[in-house]
Amino acid sequence: MAAEQSATDYIVHHLTHWRAHTEGFWSGFHLDTFWVALILGFLFAGVFGYVARQATSGVPGRLQNFIELIVEMVDTQIKDAFHGKSKVIGPLALTIFVWVFLMNAMDFLPVDLLPMAAQAVGHYVFGADPHHVYMRVVPTADVNMTFALSLSVLIVIIGFSIKAKGLFGWIKELMTAPFHASGLVGTIILAPINFVFQLIELFAKPISLSLRLFGNMYAGELIFILIALLPWWINWVLGAPWAIFHILVVTLQAFVFMMLTIVYLSMAVEDH
């Protein structure tokens, strides 16, 4: 921490995003979230693509063993939770789990490492004031990222529903479930109530997905920042146990996001 910074300034600086613009609509576009998530996505695709091309039926290497372990774990969860048939669900669940895990795992980097590197580049390369160069390295601690992920899942849920039931069947379900009535009059009377309940259920899914992931990762990021403010010896005493515990949080949140996505897609292809 810079000597001239107070604890409040230090925390605020570390929780401020690198923005495309400081005002207007595009101020909500966070460049640090975008670039870190994009790089990690390419890293995931590159490593898994490399292993797939180099895969052998003989004695596999350690990397192939590790990748196969992840794929088998995801495949097992799909077989247990997804009751339909789809060629998309496997790659989608694998991508969600690994990508979210990698974004969560950025929390394990030293708190000041990438922010200070960004400040050095901004100052010496672009002549910027280091105090006005911001860098947050955990994409899933940004609610914009978690909402984007969950909204993507919502679009897939709607797509799965329409594919399984047809457009008319999906619309019919919106109007006739969860409350059923005998006769046309009863169905018409209950249709608005059913539609409201269906919308609540539909939009509650991405909200719960995004806020659960965001809340856990934001809390973890904040705790690491608070620990970094302490003297170095206390930092090590508290930081190491929290980092070990956070491994469970990082992995669990990626697993929960993947599992809820699988369950929601399974519900989407089932008829009431």
Catalogue the active-site residues: 208, 212, 216
* Interatomic CA distance for residues 43 and 72, integer angstroms: 20
* Interatomic CA distance for residues 195 and 186, integer angstroms: 14
Closest-CA residue to 106 (of 39, 10, 9) = 39
Pseudo-torsion of CA 254, 147, 44, 265, nearest 10°?
70
Pseudo-torsion of CA 70, 266, 167, 201, nearest 10°?
-110
Angle in degrees, CA 85, 89, 220, rounded to 5? 145
Number of neighbouring beta carbons within 10 Å of residue 138? 23
